[in-house]
Chain A
């Protein structure tokens, strides 16, 4: 049954966190009302030439990448056999599940007729579309994440039998999760393959799907480190020993992995320039911006992770995880907004409206509130005493 560690401190209803989130949620509800009474034009700067804006660039592309922690951690522990990071699975799966749920939630604002989102599967299948694949995989993966997360909820609810069945499915779900994540993480990049004439050649590459997939691993590893840090600051009172003690070990392990993957990512990005023979473009304004991403947000975190692991500096690894996460955000915004429609004059370009940013803030805030609700009630950061067989 419901169990919370005795060390848990009381969380008052009227704390700064709740007041601020309350205000953001009220603003969000107002913006949602505007969106569903006045259309997309009422809250956004989207137009016919720039049909995708901040919601697609951040909420969808960045959101999905940053929610990769679920499949990355599950794969590292269950498949690659790094059992010592076991305590990291549940928080990662939970953030993955919430992340994907929020992506779908955000899409409800962006697409014209949200209730038709199941249409591609049940009414009219456009199988030539990369987006069809993205949609199918995200829908399936959301289901997988739900099932992967459900043991924690079932422990909270005290439903032992159902929980046991789901725990037995762990391996199958993990493999399914990795397959589906490989597909849709890469396909988000593949969506942009259709428009080589609009995306700047330094970002456009036939390798785009590979870039997106590999960088999603970086995103997953870094987000687990970053979120772990935040969680330790806010929820250490409900964490059990294995969570508290495993923290540094996790930082070194994931930091090392992130450094390696970043090195590979940097290499294939260079191959991308070579394939398109776009070297000369490096010396243009966009080229400089590209180098900022390459050096400041791929090469730099790669080196800093390596140094942090070698010198056993947990703090450096933590800071680096933020740089790496920002690098992913930057990359997704580059592909979807900054380097997209790069050849159009400034007055035909897009900058997000306050309304769009407001809705995004609203969505992220809802996610934080739900996360907080769950971790203060369900066994995420601690083991439930009645289920001592390791979860």
Chain B
């Protein structure tokens, strides 16, 4: 084979796979994340609940300062969730029968590979970036809050006190910092290496290695590897996931698939309904026409029948009349003749 011909074949194969891969990927498998996208691994067994991550997050995102300072541990006495003033919170859990207790877990946007919020947003304000972050664009947001309904992790928050320009607030995975080559604020601030930043694939390998090395320390599951189709944030822990408020019943189906079937029916309804309704209309119209025709012909029949009836009656009457008349004439003639005969007789006898 000549070189140029081999090159051509190579090019053909490459083009063929390039054309075929995305199609087959979308038809059969889930989107497994952008290649080389980033993620963060949270190892709760290393977290000491110092809230340094919260402080750093507050700082780099320019969020309002909280009432209690970040080194105030009493904040941990109450379960908290993310809100418009904090993109991340650490909660303390004391799972029953589990040691070492307490367990601290950080929560923030998990940056799903196929985000529910992005699929639900009717202005496309959310985007999964190739770096792995799910980012939000307030400049098109209408403020309907369907993203918050859609999020299985209860993460996005809303500025309920903003009268005219409320935004949805959530962790950006420090996307602007990533583009500058910096670490997310929380990861940089963590003193215990409870947070590891890296390529998602590498993080999964690291997590697996830790679980393999310390089987007593960890539950054999990487939370976020499959949940809701996979998330860019990954978690490993020793305490049962449910006991640290991580739902294990979410399944592995990416959120967009829950609604894709219903959306797929839209064109079918648009195509079929007018035909069906047109058909029903035609049938009801035809029934109407038939019944009108039947009525008309019934009336016609009735009319002609009565007419015929009347005709025969009239004819009979006429006949009778004629007969009567004839007989009357006959009788009259007879009588006249008889009278004449009588007259004649009288005259003769006289």
Contact = CB atoms under 8 A, between A and B. Distances in A.
Interface string B129-149: 000000000001111111011
Given A79-B284, A178-B277, A187-B262, A129 B158 contact: no
Given A48-B83, A124-B123, A179-B273, A186 B140 contact: no
B125 A126 contact: yes
Of B81, B145, B262, B273, most A-chain CB atoms within 10 Å? B262
A80 B284 contact: yes
B161 A42 contact: yes
Contacts of A80: 280, 284
B11 interface: no
A209 interface: yes
Contact of A133 (B123, B158, B160, B266): B266
A197 B165 contact: no
A41 B161 contact: yes
Interface residues of A, number: 59
Given A135-B122, A194-B116, A171 B163 contact: no
B15 interface: no
Contact of A52 (B143, B145, B160): B145
Contacts of A352: none
Interface in B147-176: 148-150, 152, 154, 156-167
Contact of B161 (A38, A179, A193): A38
A132 B122 contact: yes
A175 B275 CA distance: 10
A131 B154 contact: no
A175 to B, nearest CB: 5
A198 to B, nearest CB: 8
Contacts of A186: 262, 265
B149 A36 contact: no
B142 A51 contact: no
A160 to B, nearest CB: 27
Given A46-B160, A124-B124, A209-B265, A113 B280 contact: no
A113 B166 contact: yes
B139 to A, nearest CB: 9
B149 A113 contact: no
B281 A126 contact: no
A191 interface: yes
A130 interface: yes
Contacts of A256: none
Interface string A127-152: 01111110100000000000000000
Interface string A34-64: 0111111110101111011000000000000
B120 A194 contact: yes
A286 B22 CA distance: 44
B285 interface: yes
B261 interface: yes
A123 interface: yes
B285 to A, nearest CB: 7
Interface in B114-128: 116, 118-125
B62 interface: no
Contacts of A206: 261
Given A81-B288, A111-B143, A175 B123 contact: no
- Which of A37, A116, A135, A186 has the most chain B CB within a 10 Å cutoff? A116
A125 interface: yes
Given A119-B123, A123-B140, A193-B259, A81 B163 contact: no
A158 to B, nearest CB: 31
B161 A39 contact: yes
B164 A40 contact: no
Contacts of B35: none
B86 to A, nearest CB: 11
A182 interface: yes
B69 interface: no
A41 B164 CA distance: 12
- Most A CB contacts (10 A, CB to CB) among B82, B83, B164, B270 go to B164
Contacts of A198: 149, 152
A36 B163 contact: yes
Given A40-B166, A79-B277, A120 B122 contact: yes
Nearest to B255: A194
A134 to B, nearest CB: 8
Contacts of A114: 142
A306 B281 CA distance: 26
Given A35-B163, A129-B146, A196-B258, A175 B158 contact: no
Nearest to B155: A48
Nearest to B150: A194
B119 A119 contact: no
Contact of A197 (B143, B152, B164): B152
A183 B265 CA distance: 9
A72 interface: no
A197 B248 CA distance: 10
Which of B160, B247, B278 has the largest count of A CB atoms less than 10 A from its CB? B160
A47 B157 CA distance: 8
Nearest to B82: A48
B313 interface: no
A23 interface: no
The winner among A48, A114, A123 for most chain B CB atoms within 10 A is A48
Nearest to A197: B152
B332 to A, nearest CB: 65
A145 B265 CA distance: 24
A113 B288 contact: no
Contact of A39 (B123, B166, B278, B285): B166
Interface of B: 81-84, 116, 118-125, 140-146, 148-150, 152, 154, 156-167, 247, 249-251, 255-256, 258-259, 261-263, 265-266, 269-270, 273-274, 277-278, 280-281, 284-285, 287-288
20 contacts: A39-B161, A42-B161, A42-B163, A48-B158, A51-B149, A78-B281, A112-B141, A112-B145, A112-B159, A113-B166, A119-B142, A120-B142, A123-B140, A124-B125, A128-B124, A130-B263, A175-B274, A183-B270, A196-B258, A198-B152
Interface of A: 35-42, 44, 46-49, 51-52, 75, 78-81, 110-114, 116-117, 119-120, 123-126, 128-133, 135, 171, 175, 178-179, 182-183, 186-187, 190-198, 206, 209
Given A39-B163, A117-B142, A124-B125, 17 more contacts: A36-B164, A40-B160, A79-B280, A111-B142, A112-B145, A112-B162, A112-B165, A112-B167, A120-B142, A126-B125, A128-B119, A129-B120, A131-B146, A178-B277, A182-B273, A195-B149, A209-B262
